[in-house]
Amino acid sequence: MISWIFLFIGGACEIGFVTMMKLSDGFRKLKYSLLTILFMAVSFYSLSLALKTIPIGTGYAVWSGIGAVGSVLIGMFFFKESKSFLKIIFILMIIIGITGLKLSS
């Protein structure tokens, strides 16, 4: 169970590092650049702890899925990126896939 907590922390930090990378403006803003590196380090460290007991394929897919879904949602709600019915359908498909991987592990 603790491995899944680490995996979700890692996925959340992946959302954080992608968001901070966007805000860093190509690593030209020091504060956001440093936050990118911090979130990235915590994300990868958490993933590595999770992969001690979670199968690598499942762990990586869930970690990247959390990051992908979270990043799309951050983009839509905070950076005014486009929202469409199809985009929402595909986000839901990723969530269903993540849930399926979790339940089958």
Whole-prediction pTM:
0.90
CB 98 within 8 A of CB 66: yes
* Residues 6+ positions from 23 with CB-CB distance below 8 Å: 29, 32
pLDDT digits (tens, 9 = 90+) for 25-73: 999 999 999 999 999 999 999 999 999 999 999 999 999 999 999 999 9
